[in-house]
Structure 1
Amino acid sequence: MPQKGMRSLFFSPARSSSPLRPHPSFTSSPRLSFSPSSSRSFADEVMDKTLERAQPIFMKWNPTADSTSSLFYHSRNEAKSFIKCVNNLQKAMQFLVAENPSSEKLAKAQNLMQIAMQRLQKELYQILSTNRAHLDPESVSVRSSHSSAISNLSDSDLEENQESEIVKVEDVSKMAMYDMRSIVECMISAGYATECMKVYKVIRKSIIDEGIYKLGVEKLLSPSNIHKMDYEVLGLKIKNWLNAVIIAVKTLFNGEKIICDNVFATNDSIKDSIFSEISTEGGMILFSFPENIVKNTKKSKKSPDKVFRVLDMYSTMKNLWPEIETIFNLQSSYTVKSQAITSLTKMSEFVRENITDFEAGILKNSSKSVVSGGGIHPLTIEVTNYLALLSDYSSVITDIIADMAPPMKSLLPEYLFGMSDSVDTTESVMSMRLEWLILVLLCKLDNKAKSYKDVSLAYLFLANNLQYVVEKVKMSNLKNLLGGEWLLKQERKVKQFSSTYVKLAWGHVINSIPDDDPTAVKKFGEVKDCFKKFNAQFEQVYHKQSVCIVADRKLRDEIKLGVARILIPVYREFYKQHKLVLSKERNVGSVVRFSPEDIGNYLSDLFFEDVRSNDWHHL
């Protein structure tokens, strides 16, 4: 190769693309094929000129002589010259060691190289330290969505921004990353990768650790610590984690990966290694929290409502999974990704077990005590509230319960389970499970209704409880999952129960009115006896039914209207026709005790809850 060509190689402004090399050994460079004497002379000449250019700037910025100022903040042009001199010195040393490894110039060059590396190491530290605010992962992650990566920037772009004095926060962070990339590429090329990696990891790991701490995620929150916590305190910690994990994934880890990818853009192995080292501890703390919660919950007293806290965590992590998988996508970060998978798996198992245990709890409910007044059974409230809340997580639960053994469809009556075998939608798995659990509840209620000695009260109990289920379905996402046809079937069942109650409870009163022609003339004694019989039957039934409760206003009005429709018209006709017969009776008031209007007024006061009861719509 002509000397002119060699000179252009060592003194050109082009950046070195030399591979990572350990220092201070340079013995791996290949020998060139020309005579030792001419080679030595040319290599020495190259080294002399390189040292002549490098020494002044290296000594000017010797960190031992100047410990306060910053090369990159002092002059960007001078910083570029400094980097260029380091690259040229590296080339010259490689060339000289290949031809004259015992040259004294190598020792001088190596000393200068160490001074330069110390300066660059210090510059890297200063840029990382002074730009903590500008290199905040949250800000970087937000800006990355609408700004170009710094890998697309050129020196002229940055200089143009400086010259125009448009130095916004975004520009500052880009320039900081650009400068750091220049430094680390230079140090790695010179064989000082360990030194620059050490500085970078110390600063950036502290930022992630500080971020996790500020988000309130505790480092030592073990299952034993969780087990000792008050239920309300634990709920607050879960709520805090739900907020923290979103911020940590979308901003803290995402922003940190953007910074790391840009600064170490030219070396994938180092880039991946560094990000893994600075993020693993924080990621493990964050993603192990749900697993610890589940472990504690399994050990503690079981409670159906605990599943919703777990579902909140599962849903949040599931929604974040694309970002988690992208951020921790390499083998070096697999530990964090594996912990996230483990937590999701443990939460899935917990939800399946909770649903199974809940169904078993309904079946095991063996209480035979009746509810006063045929009102709403506590089991009905518990089950429907659980299912209504469960329905809000239908899309998440569908994935979780997909591999659960389906309920035995052959045991489900057609009026409750009308879904076609060919249906295979997202809602079908969830709908099937919900319908099954409601059926289990209704079967249990049917058994409890048999405990009433008064059959009419048993039907009022069934009407009340099924109406509660229907209204809860209407007011929740259960309506979308179970469908309009299911609701219509249950509403018809409620009407059947309430109609049967009216016939059984009020039949004796209606039958006390003669069913012959009410206009037929009757003797005084017969009319008197009819009124007395009616009075006795009405008072007896009214007193008995006055303790009954119909919590739902609509159902209450329907039942009262049903009683009034079959009782008042018949009684009014009888009353009008025969009151005249008794008009001359001195004590007519003791015989005709109720007018048709009185009957209506008495009925209007029935079925209201005791003032001490809660409105079941708000339970």
Structure 2
Amino acid sequence: MAMAVVESIENLVSARQLLQTSLEKSRTLASALDKMGPRLEEINQRLPSLEAAARSISIQQCAFSRIRDHVDRAIGPAVAVLKVFDTARELEKSLLSDPCSDLFDYLSVMNLLEEALKFLSDNCELAMKWLEGIFECVEDNAITNDCCLLNVKKSLRILQELQVYEERARLEGGALSAASRKLEIEFKRLLLENSVPLALDSLATSTAEQASVFASSSWPVPVIQKLQAIVQRLNSDNQLECCMSVYVDVQSSNAKHSLQALGLDYLEMSITKFDDVQSIEGYIDQWSKHLVLAVKHVYELEHRLCNDVFKKIGSEVATGCFSKIASQSGILAFLRFGKHVAESKKDPIKLLKLLDMFASLNNLRFDFNRLFGGEGCIKIKNQTRDLIRKIVDGACEIFWELPLQVELQRRSSPPSDGSVPKLISFVTCYCNQLLGDDYRPILTQVLVIHQSWKQEKSLEGLIPNQVHDIMKEIGLNLDAWSKAYEDISLSYLFMMNNHCHFRNLKGTKLGDMMGDSWLTAHEQYRDFYAVLYLKKSWQSLLAPLSQKGSNFLVW
């Protein structure tokens, strides 16, 4: 019983405590509810603005959804541009080295860089179009994300700069421009290392076989291939003029050094010295020999090298370079010297020298036409034609004036001792040379050319007829000179000596042309004047002998 009472009391105590706890929670909840009322009112008041914000977010999400396709399309070109730009930067670093180590690899890098720059230029434009479309969409849909707009603008500026990257690379100081400059330096280095002056002084005394081997020498094939590759590369960069200038400077200097070994200072002698033909006969002979060496070896080699180096660009470029090399190294000096000789004082002895010069030029005619026949060599070609015309005109003028030149000597005095005048010896020797195998074919060709220029028919016997006229004038001179002696016996001696001189021309070219009757006539005149001379000289001795004849008888 007592135990039951105790348990009931404990239950009551527990119930009371529970009720107290519940009451405390109720009070706390009531207090919280009292506080929540104002907060709910505040939320209720903010609901319209939150609803408007939610609607705005929904609109922006829709707008961004619409430009997503534009963004996707722009990302591809933009990423490709960036990758190629990185590649271009790496290629630029590779071009900082010198091309001499591996020229063809260097040229390959230049080509790759050029392709990369072209890709940048083309694809930057495409990416910019897509970004411009994004920018328009953003503005059209009233998207006020300033960060987005700034990024789009920044991307456009970057692409605009990359778009002109190719142009800047080609400008002075740019990667391609600097690489082209290095190629020019390498081009010049290759030329200087392989251009060696020809030993023309030793060639002048070499055999024909040695000379042929000498003339066929050229540069090694790998060197030619490198020069060709550089020329093609610089041509594609519009730098061909610089390349040609370097080539002409180096090769004209080399050709000039080759010719200087021959001692060509006489080509620049004063014009006044040309009137004394006898004093420059040796120089004229040298001119003929040196011109052959210059054309057949120096200019032949330079012509071949020009064609080898520039043949992939075009024959006009090669011809232009060769023309400048020939002009700057001395061919014009050769032509100018010949012109001064042809224009100098008309002296009979100069005829032979003019014929020598014509023969040299005629022998080189094929070479001149082949080497200097192009349009780029028009100046050299015209001056060569002018020189030939002056030589032909000068030679013919002297030849036709030879009888007159003999006649002009008629007023001079004969030798005081009755010997053969120097003029007679000179003229007969001179005519023998003109009629000889060395000069007669050349003189005939010159006369035929001159006749054709005048549109006159070629006349048979031009040379023999002119020689007959010369000898006719010589005969008239002899008659005039013989009458100049006061001593008649000396006159007879003079005539005897000269007819003897003409009689001794038997077997010579002149004697054969004049014929046996002419030689026989001089032989008869020689004997005739010999008799007269003896008769006259003995008569001059008989007078004193007859006066002292008695004295001789006593003895």
Structure 1 and Structure 2 fold alike (TM over 0.5): yes
Query: Is residue 283 from structure 1 mapped to residue 343 from structure 2 by the alignment?
Result: no
Q: Distance in 1 between matches of 2:123 and 2:423?
A: 91
Verify the 8 A CA contact 2:499 2:523 in the aligned structure 1.
no
Deviations 1:556-580 (A, max 9, x none): xxxxxxxxxxxxxxxxxxxxxxxxx
Residues 363/148 of structure 1: CA separation in 2 closer, same or farther (3 Å cut): closer
Q: Distance in 2 between matches of 1:387 and 1:147?
A: 40
Aligned CA-pair RMSD:
4.6
Query: Is residue 84 from structure 1 mapped to residue 108 from structure 2 by the alignment?
Result: yes
Residues 46/324 of structure 1: CA separation in 2 closer, same or farther (3 Å cut): farther
Give runs of aligned pairs for residues 306-455 of structure 1, distance below 5 A: 306-367=350-411, 375-391=419-435, 392-402=438-448, 428-449=461-482
Structure 2 stretches lacking a partner, 5+ long: 1-72, 126-159, 452-456, 543-549
1:86 alignment partner AA: M
Query: Is residue 127 from structure 1 mapped to residue 190 from structure 2 by the alignment?
Result: yes
Q: Distance in 2 between matches of 1:498 and 1:173?
A: 73
Three-state SS of the structure 2 residue aligned to 1:106 is helix
Verify the 8 A CA contact 1:253 1:279 in the aligned structure 2.
yes
Larger mean CA deviation between 249-258 and 208-217 belongs to 208-217
Three-state SS of the structure 2 residue aligned to 1:60 is coil
Aligned to 1:61: 98
1:276 alignment partner AA: S
Q: Distance in 2 between matches of 1:180 and 1:403?
A: 45
Q: Distance in 2 between matches of 1:288 and 1:230?
A: 17
Give runs of aligned pairs for residues 93-172 of structure 1, distance below 5 A: 93-94=117-118, 97=121, 100=124, 103-104=162-163, 106=166, 110=170, 111-133=174-196
Q: Distance in 2 between matches of 1:437 and 1:346?
A: 24
Deviations 1:33-73 (A, max 9, x none): xxx989968985995697488446423337xxxxxxx33xx
Give runs of aligned pairs for residues 564-583 of structure 1, distance below 5 A: none
| Cα offset, 1:335, TM superposition | 1.0
Residue among 489, 493, 501 paired with 1:468: 501
Deviations 1:261-285 (A, max 9, x none): 1111122232222222222232222
Residues 380/145 of structure 1: CA separation in 2 closer, same or farther (3 Å cut): closer
Three-state SS of the structure 2 residue aligned to 1:433 is helix
| Cα offset, 1:291, TM superposition | 1.5
Query: How many residues are paired up?
Result: 422
Give runs of aligned pairs for residues 19-30 of structure 1, distance below 5 A: none
Residues 37/203 of structure 1: CA separation in 2 closer, same or farther (3 Å cut): farther
Residues 201/424 of structure 1: CA separation in 2 closer, same or farther (3 Å cut): same
Aligned to 2:517: 489
Give runs of aligned pairs for residues 1-40 of structure 1, distance below 5 A: none
Deviations 1:462-503 (A, max 9, x none): 55424423534735x546xx54xx432222213332454466
| Cα offset, 1:191, TM superposition | 2.4
Residues 60/446 of structure 1: CA separation in 2 closer, same or farther (3 Å cut): same
Query: Is residue 255 from structure 1 mapped to residue 295 from structure 2 by the alignment?
Result: no
| Cα offset, 1:80, TM superposition | 2.3
Residues 540/241 of structure 1: CA separation in 2 closer, same or farther (3 Å cut): closer
| Cα offset, 1:258, TM superposition | 1.3
Three-state SS of the structure 1 residue aligned to 2:478 is helix
| Cα offset, 1:320, TM superposition | 2.2
Q: Distance in 2 between matches of 1:88 and 1:290?
A: 55
Query: Is residue 274 from structure 1 mapped to residue 311 from structure 2 by the alignment?
Result: no
Aligned to 1:26: none
2:469 alignment partner AA: W
1:60 alignment partner AA: S
Deviations 1:13-34 (A, max 9, x none): xxxxxxxxxxxxxxxxxxxxxx
Q: Distance in 2 between matches of 1:39 and 1:434?
A: 97
| Cα offset, 1:114, TM superposition | 2.3
Residues 108/403 of structure 1: CA separation in 2 closer, same or farther (3 Å cut): closer
Verify the 8 A CA contact 1:246 1:320 in the aligned structure 2.
yes
Query: Is residue 242 from structure 1 mapped to residue 291 from structure 2 by the alignment?
Result: no
| Cα offset, 1:429, TM superposition | 3.0
Q: Distance in 2 between matches of 1:268 and 1:124?
A: 20
Verify the 8 A CA contact 2:403 2:469 in the aligned structure 1.
no
Q: Distance in 2 between matches of 1:245 and 1:257?
A: 16
Residues 453/206 of structure 1: CA separation in 2 closer, same or farther (3 Å cut): closer
Q: Distance in 1 between matches of 2:311 and 2:459?
A: 47
Verify the 8 A CA contact 2:372 2:380 in the aligned structure 1.
yes
Q: Distance in 2 between matches of 1:378 and 1:147?
A: 47
Larger mean CA deviation between 343-352 and 395-404 belongs to 395-404
Aligned to 2:239: 192
Query: Is residue 305 from structure 1 mapped to residue 305 from structure 2 by the alignment?
Result: no
Aligned to 1:566: none
Three-state SS of the structure 2 residue aligned to 1:365 is helix
Aligned to 1:179: 226
Three-state SS of the structure 1 residue aligned to 2:364 is helix
Verify the 8 A CA contact 1:137 1:254 in the aligned structure 2.
no
Q: Distance in 2 between matches of 1:88 and 1:135?
A: 41
Verify the 8 A CA contact 2:197 2:257 in the aligned structure 1.
no
Instruction: State the structure with bigger RCO (CA 8 A, min sep 6), 1 or 2.
Output: 1
Query: Is residue 201 from structure 1 mapped to residue 234 from structure 2 by the alignment?
Result: no
Residues 50/314 of structure 1: CA separation in 2 closer, same or farther (3 Å cut): farther
| Cα offset, 1:256, TM superposition | 1.3
Q: Distance in 2 between matches of 1:171 and 1:369?
A: 63
Q: Distance in 2 between matches of 1:307 and 1:118?
A: 55
Three-state SS of the structure 2 residue aligned to 1:469 is helix
Three-state SS of the structure 2 residue aligned to 1:381 is helix
Residues 502/146 of structure 1: CA separation in 2 closer, same or farther (3 Å cut): closer
Deviations 1:521-557 (A, max 9, x none): xxxxxxxxxxxxxxxx9x936959xxxxxxxxxxxxx
Verify the 8 A CA contact 1:125 1:199 in the aligned structure 2.
yes
Residues 210/243 of structure 1: CA separation in 2 closer, same or farther (3 Å cut): same
1:112 alignment partner AA: A
Q: Distance in 1 between matches of 2:112 and 2:193?
A: 29
Verify the 8 A CA contact 1:177 1:263 in the aligned structure 2.
yes
Q: Distance in 2 between matches of 1:250 and 1:277?
A: 18
**Hey, which of these two has a bigger chunk of helix by percent?**
2
1:397 alignment partner AA: L
Give runs of aligned pairs for residues 539-554 of structure 1, distance below 5 A: 540=538
Larger mean CA deviation between 368-377 and 392-401 belongs to 368-377
Residues 465/337 of structure 1: CA separation in 2 closer, same or farther (3 Å cut): same
Q: Distance in 2 between matches of 1:39 and 1:248?
A: 65
| Cα offset, 1:353, TM superposition | 2.9
| Cα offset, 1:441, TM superposition | 1.6
Query: Is residue 293 from structure 1 mapped to residue 291 from structure 2 by the alignment?
Result: no
Verify the 8 A CA contact 2:499 2:526 in the aligned structure 1.
no
Q: Distance in 1 between matches of 2:232 and 2:180?
A: 12
Q: Distance in 2 between matches of 1:470 and 1:404?
A: 34
Deviations 1:349-401 (A, max 9, x none): 33233234432122233348666676424432232133234344222222333
Residues 137/259 of structure 1: CA separation in 2 closer, same or farther (3 Å cut): farther
